[in-house]
Structure 1
Amino acid sequence: MPSDKLRVFTRYLPFLLKYGLKFLYQRLQATVHRRTYCSLPSPQTVLVIGGSFTGVWLARRLTESLPSGYKVILIEKNSHFNYLFNFPRYSVLQGHEQQAFIPYQGLFENAPEGIFEQITDEVICVREGDVELRSGKCIQYAYLVIATGATQSPPAKLLASRKGEACAELRVLQTRIKEAERIAVVGGGAVGVQLSADVKSFYPDKKVVLIHSRGQLLSNFGVRLHEYVVGKLAALGVDVLLGERPATPGDGKWESAELILKDGRSELFDLVIPSTGQTPNTSIIAGFAPSSISAQTGRILVKSTLQLEGDGKFDEVFENIFALGDVAETGGPKMASAGMMQGEIVRENILALIRGEQLAEYTPLALEGALKLRLGKDECVMYIQEDDGTDFMFPGKNGNVDLEAAKAWKMFGAVFEEEANE
C-alpha cells in the first residue's frame, strides 16, 4: 500500500502544477504592474481591516494588481505582524518571544509608489462609505474588506497590541510555566495540544494534563489524527482527560486553581491555562449590518462571491463590502491557507467590479484545511481530510527550536538578525 505522502502527492499534483503556473503568472503580472501603475491625485480606496495572514495577503496582492486611480489602505491595531503559529512554543521557550513579532514594512517596500498606506489603529464602526477609527479619524472607502478574524484566549492570541507589551505577556506565561509543578491545559484544539506537548518536552519532570470537553482531541479533524496525537502525548508523558468541562478562572488569567471533574473529583493545579473557543470579531458591523451576522455562529454571512449577505434590502449597499477568513461564514476551514485562497477571490472580484466584469465564486478545497501540528520539541504531523472522510497523515520533524522563524521574517522582507535582538 502506498504511503500517505505518496498518495497525497499523487492526489494533489494537478492542483499543485496549476497553482505553480498561476503563481509564476502572478509574478509576471506584478512586475508589469509595478512599472505601469501611476499614482494619481485623490485615488479611490480599497480598505482592508485586519492585518493578520488573510488581510496582509490580500493587501499585498492588491498592491500588485489595482489599476491607477486606486490605492490600498490596511488598518491593523497591532504594531507588528503576530506570527501566531509560534505562540505556543514561545509561551514555553524563554528568550525567543520577540521573534514572533515581525515588522510590516518589508512586505510593501517594493509596491508602486502611492498604492499602499498602513494605519496602526482600530476600526470601531463601519458605515456606508466610511469607517471610524478609535483615534476619531474617519476613512472613506470605495471597497471595504473585513478580515478581522476571531478573538482567542492567550496564548493563542495576545491582549497587547504593541510588540514590547506582547513580549512581556509571553514572558509572564513562560515564568509561570517554569515555576509550576502541576499544569492543566484546558482545551484540546491545535493550540492546547501543541502547548501541552511543548511544556512536557522542555520540562519533562512537570505533571501536564490536557483536558478536553469532547471525546476526541482536535474535534474538527478525523479520528485517525486523534489516535495518533493521543499516542504521541502519552509517549511524552502528558495525561489526557476527555469529556471533561471543568470551570476555569473566569478572568482568563494564568493562575492556580482547583478543577472539579464530572465524577466529583477535584484536582489542584499550580497553573491552569485556558485554551478554548473563538469569538468572531464582528462588533464593527453590528450596528451597520446586524442581519449579516449569523445568529448561530456569530460570524459574518457572505455570498459565494464573499460579498456581505443581507436580508435583500441591502444588496446594493453591500455590493462593495467583502468579508473573509475566520470572521466570515465562508464554508471553508478556519485556517490561514483558506483565508489566503479566499483573499484571491476577493481580489479578483474587486477588480471585476471596477471593470464591470462577472464575479468569481469561492469553492473550498480540502487542501486549504491541511494541518501541520507540532508535537513537542522534535516531532510534528501533517494531516489532510477530504469531504468524503478520506484522509492523509504523515509524521515529520520540526526544524530548529525557533520553528524556522527566520524563514517567516524573510517572507516578510524583514531582517531577522537585527530585529530579533531588540
Structure 2
Amino acid sequence: MSGREIHVLVIGGSWAGITAVNELINLSNGAYSGLRITLVEQRTHYFHKTGVIRGLVDQKYADKMFISYKRLFVDCDLPNSAHRLVCAKLTRVYDSSIEVEGGERIPFDYLIVATGTTPTSMPVTQSIDDVECRERYQKMRNSIESARSILFVGGGAVGIGLCCEIAELYPKKCLILAHSRDKLLSEDLSSSFANSTENLVKKMGIELILGETVLSNTAYNEDEWVVTPQTVLTKTGRRIPCDLVIWTTRARPYTDFMNSLSPTNEREPLVNVDSGCINVLPSLQLSDKRYPNIFAVGDVNSLPYAEKYATSAVLQAKHAVSNIRVLMNESYDFRSKMSPTMAAEAAARANMASYSSTRNTQMVVALGKNKEVSGTIFSKFSSWASGGSRGRNYMLDKAEKMLHV
C-alpha cells in the first residue's frame, strides 16, 4: 500500500465510532501511513451510556463514566496532528464532504456514520457539555431518591435494569414496570429467557403490568423527571398512581443530516421512514450504490434489533473498516480521481465481505449489582447466573481500555 493521503471521517464517539477509530489507527501504524483520521463528536467527552442506569444509583460509578478523548490517538506512530478530534454537531453529509455546526466543511474519501440513538427521556444523554451532563445526572438521581412510587414505561433491557438497580438500593419504594407486550424484552428473545427474567423481577418486589400501553401525560414534561403525585392512564383505561414516571422506550437514531443526500430512486430512501435508521447493504455501505464510500454502523443502521448491542456495534465497526481497506487496496479515490458514477461502478466490482449476523451473541440483562439473566439470542434455552460481570460493571472497564485510560 502506498503512502498516499486518504481521509477517513468517523461520526460519533461511542462503541462503534471509537472501535472504528482504533481499527483505523492500526492501519495507519502499518502499511497505510497516508491515512488521516478525523473523529467528529459533538460531546466534549465520552459518556458511557451502556452504564447509564448504574450511574443513576451509584455516584462513584457515575464519576468514572465521563472519559476524555485526549488519549484516543496516543498510540499513533504518526504525530497526533495527523489525526484529529472535531467537537461539533454534524449538520449535513455530501458525497465527499460533511458540514458541521458553524459551517465548516470537512472533506473525506471514506465516511463511517456511527451516530447511534439517544433515549429522549434520559436528560443526561442529551447533554454535550461535561458540566451540564453531571448536573443533569445529579438531578435525575435526586428525583429517584425523593420519589416514593415510580412507574417505569418499557420492559426492555434498560427499563428492567434500571428498575432492578433502584429496587436493590431502595427496597421500600413502590416500583411498577409497564410493558406493552405480553412478555418482557423483545420478540427476538426466547420465551424461556423472558420468563426467567419476569420471575426474577417479581422476586425483587417489582409489580409488572404487561400487555398495557401507557399513554403520554401532557400535563408535565416527561423528559424532566418531575416528582409529583399523578395518575397515569393506559390505552385500556387502567389508572396507575405514582410519583415519578421514567420512560425507557423513547430512542430514535440521529439521522437528520442525511437530508442533504439525494437518493438515486425516491422510492428507495436512504433512511427508513418508520424506524429512522439508515438503510445499508450487507457490506454496511449505504443501500444506495451511488455512495459506495459511506458506511453506517451500530444502532443508526437498518440491521435487525438483534444487532443493537454494544458487542454487535464493535463487530460492525471492524467489518466496515475491513471493507474500507478493500477499497483502499483497489486505490479508489472518491474525492478527485473518479466521477461518482465511475466510483460506484468500481466499488460494486470490489470483493467486499458481507457482515455476518451475530445471532448467537450472548444476551445479558442485568438485575442489579449481583444478578443477571443471560442466554443466547434466538436460543431455545436461557440461563441465570449470579454476580455476572455485566451486572457489576456494565463494561466500563472495556470502555476505558478502548479509550486508552
TM-score grouping bracket, smaller chain normalisation = 0.7 to 0.9
**Is 2:88 the counterpart of 1:121?**
yes
Which aligned runs of 4 or more in structure 1 are off by greater than 6 angstroms? none
Structure 1 residues 358 and 204 mapped into 2: Cα distance closer, same or farther (>3 Å)? same
Structure 1 residues 239 and 55 mapped into 2: Cα distance closer, same or farther (>3 Å)? same
> CA–CA distance in 2 between the matches of 1:401 and 1:324?
27
SS in 1 for 2:196: helix
Structural mapping, 1:125-204, within 5 Å: 125-155=92-122, 158-204=125-171
Structure 1 residues 323 and 410 mapped into 2: Cα distance closer, same or farther (>3 Å)? closer
Task: State the 1:375 CA deviation.
Answer: 0.4
> CA–CA distance in 1 between the matches of 2:393 and 2:279?
37
Per-residue Cα deviation, 1:267-316 (whole angstroms, up to 9, x for no partner) = 32111111113212111112314521123322111111111112xxxx2x
Residue correspondences, number: 368
Aligned position for 1:225: 193
Structural mapping, 1:213-252, within 5 Å: 213-219=180-186, 220-250=188-218, 251=221, 252=223
Task: State the 1:126 CA deviation.
Answer: 0.6
Q: What TM-score, normalized by structure 2, do the two folds share?
A: 0.84
Per-residue Cα deviation, 1:393-421 (whole angstroms, up to 9, x for no partner) = 3323045966574564344322xxxxxxx
Aligned position for 1:19: none
| Equivalent residue for 2:10, pick from 39, 42, 48 | 48
**Is 2:314 the counterpart of 1:340?**
yes
Task: State the 1:157 CA deviation.
Answer: 6.3
Aligned position for 2:340: none
| Equivalent residue for 1:86, pick from 31, 45, 51 | 51
Q: What TM-score, normalized by structure 1, do the two folds share?
A: 0.81
Structure 1 residues 406 and 325 mapped into 2: Cα distance closer, same or farther (>3 Å)? closer
Aligned position for 1:206: 173
CA contact (8 A) 2:193 2:381 kept: no
Given residue 366 of structure 1, which amino acid in structure 2 is its aligned partner?
R
Structural mapping, 1:56-95, within 5 Å: 56-66=18-28, 67-95=32-60
Aligned position for 1:102: 67
Task: State the 1:358 CA deviation.
Answer: 2.0
SS in 2 for 1:105: coil
Per-residue Cα deviation, 1:229-264 (whole angstroms, up to 9, x for no partner) = 111111110101011112234532212332013453
Given residue 21 of structure 2, which amino acid in structure 1 is its aligned partner?
A
RMSD: 2.3
Given residue 380 of structure 1, which amino acid in structure 2 is its aligned partner?
E
**Is 2:77 the counterpart of 1:112?**
yes
> CA–CA distance in 1 between the matches of 2:270 and 2:398?
38
Structure 1 residues 227 and 48 mapped into 2: Cα distance closer, same or farther (>3 Å)? same
Given residue 350 of structure 1, which amino acid in structure 2 is its aligned partner?
I
- Mind listing any 5+ residue stretches in structure 2 that lack a counterpart? 264-268, 331-349
> CA–CA distance in 2 between the matches of 1:406 and 1:309?
35
Task: State the 1:123 CA deviation.
Answer: 0.7
CA contact (8 A) 1:87 1:155 kept: no
Given residue 90 of structure 1, which amino acid in structure 2 is its aligned partner?
G
**Is 2:347 the counterpart of 1:379?**
no
- Mind listing any 5+ residue stretches in structure 1 that lack a counterpart? 1-35, 415-422
Per-residue Cα deviation, 1:63-91 (whole angstroms, up to 9, x for no partner) = 10141222111101112212122111111
Structure 1 residues 213 and 205 mapped into 2: Cα distance closer, same or farther (>3 Å)? same
Aligned position for 1:318: 291
Task: State the 1:137 CA deviation.
Answer: 1.1
SS in 1 for 2:54: helix
Given residue 367 of structure 2, which amino acid in structure 1 is its aligned partner?
L
Structure 1 residues 150 and 410 mapped into 2: Cα distance closer, same or farther (>3 Å)? closer
Structural mapping, 1:294-313, within 5 Å: 294-310=272-288
> CA–CA distance in 2 between the matches of 1:156 and 1:172?
9
SS in 1 for 2:181: coil
Aligned position for 2:360: 367
CA contact (8 A) 1:254 1:271 kept: yes
Per-residue Cα deviation, 1:322-351 (whole angstroms, up to 9, x for no partner) = 111111113461111111111122111111
SS in 1 for 2:383: strand
Per-residue Cα deviation, 1:89-115 (whole angstroms, up to 9, x for no partner) = 111234542211122223321122245
